[in-house]
Amino acid sequence: MRKIQRYEWIFWKYRKKYVHLKIILKQLKMKMKILFCILALAVIFQANAQDKAFNFGLRVAPAVAWLSVDDNDIRSDGGALKFNWAFFGTWNFTDNLSIVSGFNVNSLGGRYKYEHLGLPNATAANRIRLNEFQIPLGFQMRTDKVNGFKFYAQVGLACGYIFNARDEHKQSINNRFFNVSYFLAAGAEYPVAGGVSLIGQLKFNGGLTSVMSKNRFANTQANFMELGFGVMF
């Protein structure tokens, strides 16, 4: 009788362990199915995705910079050749829409001319040189591939810090340190290999605030047009 009870106890003991193990295996099987579905969706998404979620790159750009002066006796007297460079990044929400940002190092300035001041050097021209560390933020709209190229357009705003402001005699000038501007750009990407693309871009940057802070120059905006070339990863 005791042997029968002992065997029954052993049977129920191992039966409980078996049931518990069966539940664990069932839960594990369900988790494996969920994991397999997630991996399958990831593979399908990766196979259909044409671009990475984030891209970054470097760009260099020769530029033409000029000043816009709002004064009756002072006017812009042409542009100056400059050189800009940038580190940029794009956050891709879809294949065709991205947010763009990064930082730019810009060379600003240009020539201006005095007029009708009744002075001997009334028509003398001067030149202003400024450097700017700029952080842009904007949207990028991009096409699908067309003969191997992807074309895009950008629009946005940028905030900059003005430094190393000099006139043509290398004298310090009264400048404002904070500059706000807008930019419009159009360009093209050409994939080469290993997720690397070459880019070319035409960009206009227009000043919204004055870069000067004294007298007649208190409303002077700095503008530039650049043709940039770079590489994107």
Average pLDDT over residues 187-191: 96
Grade residue 69 by pLDDT with cuts at 50, 70 and 90. confident
In the prediction, which pLDDT does 47 show? 46
122, pLDDT greater than 90: no
In the prediction, which pLDDT does 222 show? 93
173, pLDDT greater than 70: yes
Q: Using CA atoms, how far apart are residues 51 and 10, in angstroms rounded to an integer?
A: 61
Average pLDDT over residues 106-121: 72
> C-alpha distances in angstroms, 23 versus 15, 20, 50, 131?
12, 5, 42, 69
Grade residue 46 by pLDDT with cuts at 50, 70 and 90. very low
Give yes or no for a contact between 200 and 229, defined as CB atoms under 8 angstroms apart: yes
Mean pLDDT lowest among 115-124, 138-147, 204-213: 115-124
Average pLDDT over residues 191-207: 94
Percent of the chain with pLDDT over 70: 70
Grade residue 172 by pLDDT with cuts at 50, 70 and 90. confident
Q: Say how many Å lie between the first and final Cα of the chain, rounded.
A: 79
Q: Using CA atoms, how far apart are residues 121 and 116, in angstroms rounded to an integer?
A: 10
Average pLDDT over residues 88-114: 91
Q: Using CA atoms, how far apart are residues 92 and 37, in angstroms rounded to an integer?
A: 25
Residues in the chain: 233
Most confident of 10-19, 21-30, 111-120, 204-213: 204-213
Average pLDDT over residues 53-69: 93
Higher pLDDT, 156 or 3: 156
